[in-house]
Amino acid sequence: MNLCIDQGNSRTKVALMTDEGKMINHFIYKQFGSSDVERLFDLYDITDSIISSVVNIEAAVVNTLARRSQHFVLFDHNTPVPIVNRYETPQTLGQDRLAAAVGAKSLCPDENLLIIDAGSAITYDFVTADGEYIGGNIAPGLKMRFTMLQRMTKKLPLVEAEENEHIPLFGKNTRDAIAAGVIRGVAYEVKGYMRTLREKMPHFQTYLTGGHASYVLNNVRTSRNEKREIHFEKNLVLIGLNEILCYNKLKIEK
């Protein structure tokens, strides 16, 4: 069994997966340390592990994973991946973005892919049908947009995305106006990327992931075509990490 760890800015997502990509279990931690790693190895038949982080990883976590795993991957820009990375500065590319791209490619191997991760920031990445990651863009996430509206104005309140899963087209009060402006603004941003790509290449699929993906998805799906083209996968990064771990295990075995 493989232990896949995705350490983000605000939480750590963990999955137990097989080499075939089946997810056995998954967990979310607000705080994650070496004691949590020990507990997972004690409870489950884990043989191999991988960790990716957008923050500094505790040395104790790395040491515990390396000690208790037959194969351990500390995912960084030097780690071999099963797609071609065309990013000009691979050392600055977030591991979560690359892992999500690998995950999407494993789920839809023969298509051009737009991968959108709606987390603390919203990232837009593109992988060709030939398996080349050609780059992407970074934009402020929902929470960041809500927070900046409140901090950079004198009278606007702070609005949380969780309060506004279903929002109006136009707000009739200030809170709804902020919610509609931010969430629909992101939704129209997503549609804009899809429309532009559709003009350049008729055939592509879109994968949406991240903590705020559901709020975006509720306001993007407006046509039958878009429903077919957008795939919501909340564990896309973990799926990609498992693929990267298996890819590196095969390279070692060969």
Catalytic residues: 96
Which alpha helices (H) appear in the chain, and where do they start and end? 34-43, 59-68, 95-107, 142-151, 174-200, 213-220, 224-229, 236-253
Q: Report in angstroms the alpha-carbon separations of 87 from 134, 199, 230, 252.
A: 6, 23, 24, 25
Q: Residue 219: CA atoms inside 13 Å, Cβ hemisphere, count?
A: 24
User: How far is residue 223's CA from residue 202's CA, in Å, rounded to a whole number?
Assistant: 16
Q: Report in angstroms the alpha-carbon separations of 187 from 84, 86, 134, 161, 192.
A: 29, 28, 23, 13, 9
Starting from the edge strand earliest in sequence, which strands make up the sheet with 12-17, in order?
Answer: 23-29, 12-17, 2-7, 48-53, 71-74
User: How far is residue 27's CA from residue 17's CA, in Å, rounded to a whole number?
Assistant: 12
Q: Which residue has the tokens 């780059």?
A: 135
Beta carbons of 123 and 97 less than 8 angstroms apart = yes
Task: Give the burial class of 135: count Cβ atoms within 10 A of its Cβ; 0-12 exposed, 13-18 middle, 19 or more buried.
Answer: middle
Return the structure tokens found at 48. 């191999």
